[in-house]
Amino acid sequence: MKANYYVIYFIIYFLVICIQFTTSYINHTAVCFVITRPEQTMFEFVGELALDGLKYGLEIFIMIDDDQFEIPTSWIPLYVQTLHISNETCFQNGYRRTTFVYTWPLEITSWDKTLFYFCELNLKHSFLWIIEADVFISSVQAFRAVHQLYSPISDLIVQQVIPNTIGDTSQWSHYSVAIGRLLPPWYRSMANILGLSRHLLNTIAEFIHWRGYNAFHEFSVQTLSLNLNMIVVSPTEFDTLFWRKDHSWDDVHQKPNNFFHPVKDKVLHKLWHERYSLFLFLSIIG
């Protein structure tokens, strides 16, 4: 009888360990900020995001475009990892042309390097956020809310997707680069922030291995996802992502849970984070 208790205890212990391992894998998310040369002011919020992310399995990375730029160690907060990958490594492995439309004649940017790193070198994350440095997020709470609400059910999280069912190249000036790369229907959207599941990352890797290079990210990930019946979510919090717009503090104050693009002035990032923290504090104390 005593032996049976030991067997039952062992089985329960084994199941608990399995559940903990599975949960830690499922919740393991990477956030990678892509930038040519980071400024010191951006690291304060990135550090706060990293500390908050410890509660729910988040790892923070910064992928730097400029291979020659070394970040002073005093800038880098705890739990933030900086990454450098050479252009040659990306080129040899086909990770190029992801943002080619905007960066020509440069074929390789931090987007290509980030995809290479998380598709080929670091496969432990079940979900990846790629965020351009000129996307403004008001608080760690705003990011956490979007992440926890949408990432468990999504393969792709992206701004509103526009369909092109018949492959009409006149609908968008950049559809010329879609010809011969992906069959219609095509789909496009802004892509200054993307959330990608491991399933989609594996699909992107397979596409690059097959083609020998990537396709423009403002239509390729959307088209791959929807044509392969993946789950694509466009949060209302992304409605304030634009190609060109002068955002103001009033925009942030009115929609504090939204993400904003473009906000290129990093001093504004710092100022608005401080204002929002004060706003939260005052609202708490009444």
pLDDT in tens, 47-83: 999 999 999 999 999 999 998 888 899 999 999 999 9
Give residue 102's pLDDT band: very low, low, confident or very high (50, 70, 90). confident
pLDDT cut 90: percent of the chain above it: 80
Residues for the chain: how many in total? 286
Question: Integer distance in angstroms from the first to the last C-alpha of the chain?
Answer: 62
Q: What is the mean pLDDT of the chain?
A: 90
CB 156 within 8 A of CB 225: yes
Give residue 4's pLDDT band: very low, low, confident or very high (50, 70, 90). low
CB 80 within 8 A of CB 42: no
* CA–CA distance, 96 with 116 (Å, rounded to integer): 9
Prediction pTM value: 0.89
CB 157 within 8 A of CB 149: no
* CA–CA distance, 92 with 104 (Å, rounded to integer): 19
User: Can you read off the two tokens belonging to residue 229?
Assistant: 């019946």
Q: Dihedral of CA 35/38/41/45: which sign?
A: positive
Which one is predicted more confidently, 103 or 205?
205
* CA–CA distance, 156 with 230 (Å, rounded to integer): 8
Buried-exposed string 128-165: b where 16+ CB fall within 10 A, e elsewhere: bbbbbbbbbbbbbebbbebbeebbeebbbbbbebeebe
Which one is predicted more confidently, 19 or 90?
90
Q: Which residues lie across from 127 on neighbouring strands?
A: 29, 197
pLDDT in tens, 125-152: 999 999 999 999 999 999 999 999 999 9
User: Can you read off the two tokens belonging to residue 280?
Assistant: 């939260």
* CA–CA distance, 269 with 127 (Å, rounded to integer): 26
* CA–CA distance, 252 with 108 (Å, rounded to integer): 33
* CA–CA distance, 275 with 29 (Å, rounded to integer): 28
* CA–CA distance, 83 with 61 (Å, rounded to integer): 7
